[in-house]
C-alpha cells in the first residue's frame, strides 16, 4: 500500500478491542497461509487500517470486508475502492448475515456468478472472538476455511486435547465441525498498540463430509453445553436431565468423570444415544 492511499492513522479504541497489526513479516506470513486466488470469494472481518487487506485484494479475489468502526470506513474506501471486486460493509460481524454475500452477484466476475463458499479471514477483537467463532461455526456449510488472528489462549482452546484445562465447548464444537491447525504465534510488538497478551494464527477447515454423519449437531451442541455448565461437577450431575448414570455406564463412560476427560467421540456416542431415545 503506498503512502498516498494508506488509511490515515487512527487511535485504537479499547471498546472495539482494537490492536492494529503493523509488522510486515507477520502480514506476509498470514497472506502466505491464506494464499488468496482470483476465483475465490474472501471475507475479511475487522480490516482495521488495511494492513492485510492489500495482500488479499491485490490477488484479484472478490473481497468483502466488514468493519464496525465507522471512523475507519473513509480510509478503507479511499485505499481500496479502486479494486472492482472490493466491497466494504459497515456492520457488526456478530449481527452480519454471511449467507447474503453468496446471494449477491459479482459484477466484476466474467460470468457475474458466485463462488461456492466463502473464505473468512480476520484479526478478531479479543472481546468478541469466542461468540463470533461460534456464529461462524454455524455457517460452516457456506465456508471453505477460516484464518484468524486470536488471543493465544483462544487458539489453545480451539486446538485443545481431552484431559487438559483448555478442553471445553469451543474446542469440542470446532473440532467436530472443522480441522483445526495452530499455525504460528504472533508477539505483542507486531501490533500498535501492543496488547498485553500473546496472539496466534489458527486455520479452521470445515469438513466437507462429516466424519460423524449420524450425529445431530444441535443435539451435540446442547449436550456439550450442559456437560460443561459446571466444570468441577461430574457428568452424573451435569447431565442428569439428559441421560441417566446407567445409560452412561452402558456406553462405557464413568458417570463420576468430569466432562473435560471425555474424548470428542465419547460426546458423540452420548449424543447419539440421547438422540435415539428422543421422540421425533
* Judgement on whether residues 102 and 240 belong to the same structural domain of the protein: no
- Is the residue at 9 inside a domain? no
Place of cell 492513522: 9
* Judgement on whether residues 157 and 266 belong to the same structural domain of the protein: no
pTM for the predicted model, two decimal places: 0.89
State which of 206, 241, 262 marks the end of a domain. 206
- Is the residue at 8 inside a domain? no
71 phi and psi angles, rounded to 5 deg: -70, -20
Q: Could you read off the pLDDT of 71-115 as tens digits, one per residue?
A: 999 999 999 999 999 999 999 999 999 999 998 878 667 555 556
Cis peptide before 115 (omega within 30 of 0): no
The three cell numbers locating residue 108: 466484476
The whole-number pLDDT of residue 115 equals 61
User: Looking at the DSSP assignment, which residues form a beta bridge with residue 87?
Assistant: 64
The whole-number pLDDT of residue 2 equals 39
What is the separation of C-alpha 141 from the centre of its chain, rounded to a whole number of angstroms?
Answer: 13
Nearest CA to 275 out of 227, 210, 225, 215 is that of 215
Average pLDDT rounded to a whole number, residues 239-246: 96
Q: Which domain holds residue 252?
A: 217-275
- What is the domain-level CATH number for residue 260? 1.10.8.100
Q: Could you read off the pLDDT of 189-235 as tens digits, one per residue?
A: 998 888 888 999 999 999 999 999 999 999 999 999 999 999 999 99
* Judgement on whether residues 270 and 223 belong to the same structural domain of the protein: yes
* Judgement on whether residues 130 and 58 belong to the same structural domain of the protein: yes
Question: Taking all residues of the chain, what is their mean pLDDT, rounded to a whole number?
Answer: 90
Nearest CA to 115 out of 64, 54, 55, 62 is that of 62
* Judgement on whether residues 223 and 194 belong to the same structural domain of the protein: no
Cα–Cα distance between 208 and 239 in angstroms, integer?
A: 31
* Judgement on whether residues 50 and 180 belong to the same structural domain of the protein: yes
Instruction: Judge whether residue 159 has pLDDT over 50.
Output: yes
Average pLDDT rounded to a whole number, residues 139-155: 97
- Is the residue at 2 inside a domain? no
94 phi and psi angles, rounded to 5 deg: -65, -25
Instruction: Judge whether residue 278 has pLDDT over 80.
Output: no
Domains: count for the chain: 2
The whole-number pLDDT of residue 7 equals 46
The whole-number pLDDT of residue 127 equals 83
* Judgement on whether residues 199 and 244 belong to the same structural domain of the protein: no
- What is the domain-level CATH number for residue 144? 3.40.50.150
The whole-number pLDDT of residue 242 equals 96
* Judgement on whether residues 255 and 190 belong to the same structural domain of the protein: no
* Judgement on whether residues 231 and 188 belong to the same structural domain of the protein: no
Nearest CA to 98 out of 121, 75, 77 is that of 121
* Judgement on whether residues 85 and 35 belong to the same structural domain of the protein: yes
- Is the residue at 212 inside a domain? no
- Is the residue at 104 inside a domain? yes
- Out of 82-91, 119-128, 131-140, 144-153, which region has the weakest mean confidence (pLDDT)? 119-128
* Judgement on whether residues 146 and 198 belong to the same structural domain of the protein: yes
Instruction: Judge whether residue 16 has pLDDT over 60.
Output: no
* Judgement on whether residues 132 and 239 belong to the same structural domain of the protein: no
State which of 206, 230, 246 marks the end of a domain. 206
The whole-number pLDDT of residue 19 equals 75
- Is the residue at 1 inside a domain? no
Amino acid at each position: 500500500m503506498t503512502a498516498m492511499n494508506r488509511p490515515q492513522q487512527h487511535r485504537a479504541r479499547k471498546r472495539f478491542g482494537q490492536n492494529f497489526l503493523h509488522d510486515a513479516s507477520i502480514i506476509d506470513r498470514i497472506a502466505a497461509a491464506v494464499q488468496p486466488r482470483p476465483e475465490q470469494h474472501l471475507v475479511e472481518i475487522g480490516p482495521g487500517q488495511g494492513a492485510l487487506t492489500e495482500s488479499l485484494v491485490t490477488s484479484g479475489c472478490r473481497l468483502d470486508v466488514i468493519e464496525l468502526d465507522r471512523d475507519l470506513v473513509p480510509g478503507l474506501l479511499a485505499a481500496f475502492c479502486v479494486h472492482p471486486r472490493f466491497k466494504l460493509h459497515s456492520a457488526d460481524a456478530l449481527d452480519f448475515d454471511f449467507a447474503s454475500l453468496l446471494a449477491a452477484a459479482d459484477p466484476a466476475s466474467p460470468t457475474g456468478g458466485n463462488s461456492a463458499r466463502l473464505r473468512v479471514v480476520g484479526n478478531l477483537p479479543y472481546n468478541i472472538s469466542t461468540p463470533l467463532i461460534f456464529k461462524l461455526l454455524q455457517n460452516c456449510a457456506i465456508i471453505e476455511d477460516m484464518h484468524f488472528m486470536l488471543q493465544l489462549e483462544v487458539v489453545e482452546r480451539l486446538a485443545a486435547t481431552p484431559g487438559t484445562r483448555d478442553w471445553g465447548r469451543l474446542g469440542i464444537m470446532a473440532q467436530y465441525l472443522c480441522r483445526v491447525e495452530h499455525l504460528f504465534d504472533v508477539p505483542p510488538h507486531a501490533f500498535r498498540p501492543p496488547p498485553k497478551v500473546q496472539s496466534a494464527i489458527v486455520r479452521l477447515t470445515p469438513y466437507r463430509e462429516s466424519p460423524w454423519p449420524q450425529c445431530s449437531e444441535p443435539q451435540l451442541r446442547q449436550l456439550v453445553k450442559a456437560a460443561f455448565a459446571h466444570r468441577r461437577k461430574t457428568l452424573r450431575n451435569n447431565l442428569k436431565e439428559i441421560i441417566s448414570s446407567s445409560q452412561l455406564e452402558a456406553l462405557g463412560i464413568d458417570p463420576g468423570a468430569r466432562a473435560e476427560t471425555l474424548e470428542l467421540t465419547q460426546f458423540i456416542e452420548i449424543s447419539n444415544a440421547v438422540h435415539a431415545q428422543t421422540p421425533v
